A and B are shown apart, each in its own frame.
Chain A
Amino acid sequence: MKVDISGIARHRIGVDGEGVTTLVAFMLCPLRCKYCLNPQTLSMSNPSKSYTPEELYAELKIDSLYFLATGGGVTFGGGEPLLRAPFIAEFRRICGSEWKINLETSLNVSRDLLETAAPCVDSFIIDIKDMNPETYTSYTGGENSRVLENLEYLLHAGRAESCIVKVPLIPGYNTEAAVETSVASLKSMGFTKFDKLKYITEIHGKGKGNL
């Protein structure tokens, strides 16, 4: 099993998960967000490198001491990491239970992929974009019906405490009031941990937009 990885970022602190983490960014994403931070992951024509789970573990274990001492581990992002759920499950089998595995995800994938990955994941960092379907579609080019279904799945699986829901202010697409509306909706569902932030709109020195 080989998957294409856009990049690996070591020694992340205070960014995406507890402790010292290493970010592994997979290629490909079902969405086309206008302010995507990693547009290089969207097309297979961009540079990437293929790894098996064993090869990835061999590369990441260089920081195992930091992971173990700080309660950190690996954050899978991208792109959309859940598209590589079987890879993540195999990676967990290889790395064991002591490393934390975090997932930076949109949850906009089929249920079977989430079901495959969920037991292997310690923490979900879910970028919800906006709970309003029209805003969501306008910003991402996709629909949020699967996102809502997958949120319900995580709730019913008792994983609400494992979820940090990012609710961004998206310049030009939503407002602070809309962010609060999304947060209220998510709270009513049963989520308790939120990360409100403002999207970066100037990327790569090229101004706004998904390149």
Chain B
Amino acid sequence: MERGKEICKALKEIRRRIATENDIEFITSECKHKGDCLGTCPKCEAEVRYLEEQLEARKRLGKTSRVVGLSIGLAAIAPALFTDCRPSGYLVQGDMPAPEEQTEDQDTTKQGQTPVSPLEGDIADPEGQN
């Protein structure tokens, strides 16, 4: 899933720039994962939480944080995600258990569709709604 890898790289670069702009020590490593990538993973998420904690610590010390207005240009750091292969419209799949007839989505994912994170928790009972 090349698109997922590209998203992962872009998000890592965003994290790196936030750290740099706020004088936060940020040590990361190249992802060695070889399989499918959704663009994030527990290690990436942990880096985000680390940045949030560091920014909060700066706030407690009375230091200003610079995140809003960084205006990180994604087209420059992830040009592969800005091609004509982008999804036509959007697709939401893999999010909820799909009805039986909607389980084969290979065609659309080949066209650059973004997989979605599963929704956790109970599935609403379809009866009695609206």
Whole-angstrom distance between the alpha carbons of A9 and B71 in the complex?
Answer: 22
Q: Is the CB of B91 within 8 A of A37?
A: yes
Q: How far is the CB of A74 from chain B (nearest CB, A)?
A: 13
Q: Is the interface of B mostly helix, strand, loop or mixed?
A: loop
| Contact indicator B101/A211 (Cβ below 8 Å) | yes
Minimum CB–CB distance for B112 against chain A, Å? 8
How far is the CB of B109 from the nearest CB of chain A, in Å? 11
Instruction: Please judge, given known A-B contacts A12-B114, A204-B101, whether A104 and B14 are in contact too, CB under 8 Å.
Output: no
Main secondary structure of the interface of A (DSSP, over half): mixed
What is the minimal beta-carbon distance from A15 to any residue of chain B, in angstroms? 6
A156 part of interface (Cβ distance < 8 Å): no
Check A66–B97 contact: CB distance below 8 A: no
Bound form: Cα–Cα A50–B55 in Å: 32
Q: Mark A39-71, 1 if CB is under 8 A from B, else 0.
A: 111001111111000000000001101101111
- Is B124's CB within 8 Å of the partner chain A? yes
Query: Quick check: A15 and B114 within 8 Å, CB to CB?
Result: yes
- Give complex CA distance A199, B72 in Å: 30
Q: A37-B90, A40-B102, A49-B124 are in contact. Are A200 and B129 (CB under 8 A)?
A: no
Annotate B84-99 by CB proximity to A: 1 below 8 A, 0 otherwise.
0011111111111111
Query: Which listed residue, A9, A38, A65, touches B115 by the CB 8 Å rule?
Result: A9
Q: Give the chain B neighbours of A93 by CB distance below 8 A.
A: none
Out of B71, B96, B117, B129, name the residue touching A71 (CB < 8 Å). Answer: B71
Asked whether any CB of chain B lies closer than 8 Å to the CB of A98, the reply is yes
Q: Are A200 and B111 in contact (CB under 8 A)?
A: yes
- Please indicate the chain A residues that have their CB under 8 angstroms from the CB of B94 in the complex: 7
Contact B11 A66 (CB under 8 A): yes
Interface string of A189-211 (1 = CB under 8 A from B): 00000000111101111100001
Query: Is A166 an interface residue, CB under 8 A from the partner?
Result: yes
**Interface 9-mer from A16-24, A112-120, A172-180:** A16-24
> Is B57 positioned at the interface, with any CB of A under 8 Å from its CB?
no
Task: Please tell me if B1 contacts chain A, counting CB pairs below 8 Å.
Answer: no
User: When A and B form their complex, which 9 residue pairs have the shortest distance between CB atoms, in order from nearest?
Assistant: A7-B95, A205-B104, A9-B116, A7-B92, A47-B96, A14-B81, A25-B92, A14-B82, A11-B39
Q: 12 A-B pairs, CB-CB below 8 angstroms?
A: A8-B119, A16-B90, A20-B10, A37-B89, A39-B102, A68-B70, A69-B14, A75-B90, A203-B107, A204-B102, A204-B107, A206-B104
8 more contacts with CB within 8 A, not counting A68-B67, A68-B70, are A4-B130, A7-B94, A7-B96, A11-B11, A14-B74, A15-B114, A20-B10, A70-B74
